[in-house]
Amino acid sequence: MEVNPPRRPRDSVIRQPRVDQLQPTFAEPVPRRHPRRIFSTPFLLSFGFAALIIFGGLLLSLPISSSAGVFTPLILAFFTATSAVTVTGHTVVDTPTYWSHFGQAIIFFLMLIGGLSFMAAATFILALLGQRSSLSERLVLRDTMGLDRMEGLRRITRNIVIVVFLIYLIGAGVIFWRINGLDGMGIGESIWQSIFLSVSAFNNAGFSILPASPAGSGLARIATAETLLFTLIILIVLGGIGWTSLVDIYRHRRFSRLNLDTKLVVVTSLLLWVVGALVLFFAEFSNPETYGGLSMVDRISDSIFHSVSGRTAGFATFDFGLSDDFTKLTYSALMFVGGASGSVAGGIKVNTFAVIIAAVISSIKGRPQAEAFGREISQHQVLRALTVGVLGVLFIILVLSTLTLTEPDIPFLDLLFDTVSAFGTTGASTGIVPELSVIGKSIFMLTMFIGRLGPLTLALALAPREQTLYRYVQERVTIG
């Protein structure tokens, strides 16, 4: 029997690890799969608008919708439905004469829901029923209404809808006071005309069912009616400035207390309105087809009206097809910018344009970051604004290039004007829409649809959502 010798106090036991224990251990995590959700926020918006367009197009194709009592061609019906849902205002036929009262009511319903957003209306109904709106519905509503906070979203939406309907009624009351009895219209017809025009103006839809005048469209009769013009201006501005900006202005009332987003919207909108009014006043001053026969006061008021309406709503008291080329080019740029974020207007949005301009000015001054009104704009927002702007320009180029092939007989500048108008959901037109082929009308429908959803929303819907956990080494690039 072997006996281990006793361990002395100074002895120590040394244990050497095995060779396999000296090798590093590599843990390879299994990559998590993120399946594409077809019911994410952008896709919900797309499906909702598409369903509303299909529903409205089918109803407009029925004989009851036309004043002649005949079936309407599907391309015409769906084009009108798309224009109404996207609150654009492009029309293939004369709205007051072609459509019956039922058809006009369908157009009214589509532009009403399309303007306020179908999810805002649905959430409002759920609030009235005392039910809870789901998280996905609130996310859709947040993106549509331009809200950042999730708290009290249902209550905020309810207040927005109530205030908007009050604005509808006030605007309709003023319009009724001015058009009651026009061309022998009864009280019922005057009320219907007033409500339709008030909703169309606030929603920046551009639709009008006023009877035609000897001078042209129904709106031509209000070219010298300053009260009606400024009523429509107020409605268009309220609808196109954005919910958050309206609330911020109402709460603070002083420019110095407004947040940066509201300051950018207000200042940029004012500058664009001034530029649009000056261009229209001087370019059309002696044009006999537009302003040549108006007095100086009417020229000034009409220039202000078209500067506000031409960028977001599309109402016009004259035919843009008869305007100067410089006017068409300038207003194409204004329509591309559009209204403010969270509003019923389209375009790349005033906020986006303001951020890009702020970044350009800051770069010219040699500042490393974009700055405006003593505040710094984050690099992420600058990149997002550039993305929206570049995608918008590329989309316009793609659509315009295609239309030059499908519509070779239409002047290029008229195509540019109406294409940008469709993308910006403005509705101002040079009169070429009825002349478009079936392919051209289909392209315009797609343009209005994408213009309403926004290029960034579409990009977010199609791009995979991944978080970058690393950054590359910086390297300088020669510019200029």
Dihedral of the CA atoms 114, 116, 119, 123 (nearest 10)? -150
Q: What is the pLDDT of residue 317?
A: 84
Tell me the C-alpha distance between 469 and 377, whole Å.
23
Q: In angstroms, what CA-CA distances link 456 with 68, 234, 286, 391, 452?
A: 42, 29, 41, 8, 11
Q: Which DSSP state fits 210?
A: P
Q: In angstroms, what CA-CA distances link 98 with 69, 104, 279, 477?
A: 10, 9, 34, 59
- pTM, two decimals, is 0.82
Q: Does residue 88 contact residue 345 with C-beta atoms inside 8 Å?
A: no
Q: What is the pLDDT of residue 410?
A: 92
Q: What is the DSSP string of 324-339?
A: -HHHHHHHHHHHHH-S
Under DSSP, is residue 216 helix (H, G, I), strand (E, B) or coil? strand
Tell me the C-alpha distance between 76 and 433, whole Å.
11
Q: Which one, of 261, 278, 297, lies nearest residue 372 by Cα?
A: 261
Tracing tokens 């019956």 back to the chain, one arrives at 100
Radius of gyration of the chain (CA): 28
Tell me the C-alpha distance between 312 and 426, whole Å.
5
SS in 3 state form for 276-312?
A: HHHHHHHHCCCCCCCCCCCCHHHHHHHHHHHHHHHHH
Q: Where are the domains of the chain?
A: 38-460
Q: What is the pLDDT of residue 131?
A: 44
Angle (nearest 5°) at CA 29 between 24 and 34: 165
Tell me the C-alpha distance between 247 and 256, whole Å.
15
Q: What is the pLDDT of residue 13?
A: 61
Tell me the C-alpha distance between 52 and 85, whole Å.
7
Q: What is the pLDDT of residue 273?
A: 94
Q: Does residue 96 contact residue 67 with C-beta atoms inside 8 Å?
A: no
Q: What is the pLDDT of residue 253?
A: 83
Digitized pLDDT (tens) for each residue of the chain, 480 residues in all: 555 555 555 666 666 666 555 566 555 555 555 545 544 555 667 788 889 999 999 999 999 999 999 999 999 999 999 999 988 989 999 888 899 999 999 999 999 888 876 556 444 444 444 444 455 445 544 544 444 454 556 676 777 788 889 999 999 999 998 888 777 778 888 899 999 999 999 988 889 888 776 655 667 777 677 888 899 999 999 988 877 788 888 888 888 888 888 899 999 999 999 999 999 999 998 888 888 778 888 889 889 999 999 888 888 888 888 899 999 999 999 999 988 877 888 888 898 899 999 999 999 988 888 888 888 888 888 888 898 899 899 999 999 999 999 999 999 999 999 999 999 989 889 989 999 999 999 999 999 998 887 755 655 554 545 556 677 888 888 776
Backbone φ and ψ of 276, nearest 5°: -65, -40
Q: What is the pLDDT of residue 446?
A: 93
Q: Which one, of 367, 439, 430, 359, lies nearest residue 399 by Cα?
A: 439
